[in-house]
Amino acid sequence: MGPQHPSTHGVLHLLLQLEGEWVTQVEVEIGYMHRCFEKHAEYLSFPQIIPYVDRLDYVAPLAGEHAFVLAVERALGLSVPPRTEYLRVLAVELNRIASHLLALGTYAIDLGATTGFLWAFRDREFILEFLEAWSGARMLYNLFWVGGIAFDLPLHFTDRLREFIPYLRKNMEELKRLLLDNRIFRDRTAGVGVIPLEVALQYGASGPVLRGSGLAWDLRRTHPYSVYPELEFEVPVGTGAMGTLGDCWDRSWVRYREMEESLRIVEACLERLEKDYPGGGDFDPRQNEVGRKARPRQDVALYAAVEGPRGELGFFLEAAKNSDKPRRLKVRSPSFAHLSMLPALVQEGLWLADWVALLGSLDVVMCEVDR
């Protein structure tokens, strides 16, 4: 199956062993993207790497930007103004909603439905328009810079966003009725593609895949960073409500619930920005110049990670004293861990149609795998 096939979610080659329609064995072959990101990073300065980070998980690049700038800021000993962190979290959570809308919409296509895909992409497009108005780019933003953020919020941004939130909540409820509450969707996902919690832990699963198997592990709560400790939100987990704990339906349900929680975080960020930092607050574009010129005061080796839409996205950063380039930059990709699980999930066999449902429920992005 693949590497160019509508059900492979990117340039991925799967070697399947079949008995009729029954999948008995799978071999996952990656490496078709030829990204070479980690090697490129050794020849670029810290600020120059950020546009390349965008192209790892291009569906939700702001999570990658956030993880990278956190790693570099820790290495350089830089502190970021609180308002800047609220702006970053606001942007990341909007991007998380857009990512989950894409995940659910394309998953509907995987299972043979079209309307859910069109509805999800319609609302995702509105979010991309907000982020484009802010950063100037529709998908690859280069918005988070070392020590700061590229642009302050545009004029009337918060007012328009507040008007959009009730509209999105209403449409999300319609999407839930169309997909998650749909009998055909449930028949295709409930009890299908079960990932036992012990298997998820053995292979380093994270994000909705791990939480869909019942473990409330979210780095925003378990290893707090940025301003998340100051924000109220829940960590949704799978319960096996429609079938078996850890099935495809649970993972879809977790993503839907995370969109609801992300909207809560967006509203909380807007409230903090308007209440504590009226009139632009402490935004100072000169802070970005500090980040561009800073160098590590000693040799550093550290790891920084964030809770991305697909799971734990992190950077192992090693840099020499007074150097403006990494000596080594390694990406911890959630999609890579999730693809690694696939051979273990078909040991007892799986129907080919259910295999497509399982693969789609993992929501992998191949550019962060072939890095």
Answer yes or no: is 220 within a domain: yes
Task: Specify the pTM.
Answer: 0.95
pLDDT reading at 7 higher than 70: no
- CA dist., res. 252 & res. 238, Å (int): 9
pLDDT of residue 3: 77
Positive or negative: CA dihedral 308, 310, 316, 319: negative
pLDDT reading at 43 higher than 80: yes
Q: Which of 4-13, 42-51, 186-195, 215-224 has the lowest mean pLDDT?
A: 4-13
Kindly report the number of other CB atoms within 10 A of residue 291's CB atom: 19
pLDDT of residue 2: 77
Q: Return the beta strands (E) in the chain as ranges.
A: 13-19, 22-29, 144-145, 148-149, 300-308, 311-319, 326-332, 350-351
pLDDT reading at 253 higher than 80: yes
Which CATH number fits the domain that encloses residue 155? 1.10.645.10
Structural domain containing residue 298: 38-338+364-369
Answer yes or no: is 256 within a domain: yes
- CA dist., res. 371 & res. 39, Å (int): 9
Confidence band, pLDDT 50/70/90 cuts, at residue 140: very high
Summarize pLDDT for 157-186 with one digit per residue, the tens: 999 999 999 999 999 999 999 999 999 999
Answer yes or no: is 33 within a domain: no
The number of angstroms, rounded, from the C-alpha of 296 to the middle of its chain's C-alpha atoms is: 29
Kindly report the number of other CB atoms within 10 A of residue 310's CB atom: 27
Answer yes or no: is 191 within a domain: yes
- CA dist., res. 45 & res. 28, Å (int): 34
SS3 207: helix
Summarize pLDDT for 351-360 with one digit per residue, the tens: 999 999 999 9
Helix ranges (H only) for 9-45 are: 37-41
Answer yes or no: is 29 within a domain: no
Residues with Cβ within 8 Å of residue 90, at least 6 apart in sequence: 266, 269, 270, 273
Answer yes or no: is 28 within a domain: no
* 22-29 and 350-351 beta bridge pairing: antiparallel
pLDDT reading at 11 higher than 80: yes
- The total domain count for the chain is 1
pLDDT of residue 182: 95
Output 155 or 126, whichever has higher pLDDT.
Answer: 126
Answer yes or no: is 343 within a domain: no
Averaged pLDDT, 273-291: 73
Answer yes or no: is 27 within a domain: no
pLDDT of residue 286: 66
Averaged pLDDT, 322-349: 93
Which element (helix H / strand E) includes 265?
Answer: helix 248-276
Summarize pLDDT for 308-331 with one digit per residue, the tens: 999 999 999 999 999 999 999 999
Which element (helix H / strand E) includes 127?
Answer: helix 115-135
Confidence band, pLDDT 50/70/90 cuts, at residue 290: confident
pLDDT reading at 223 higher than 90: yes
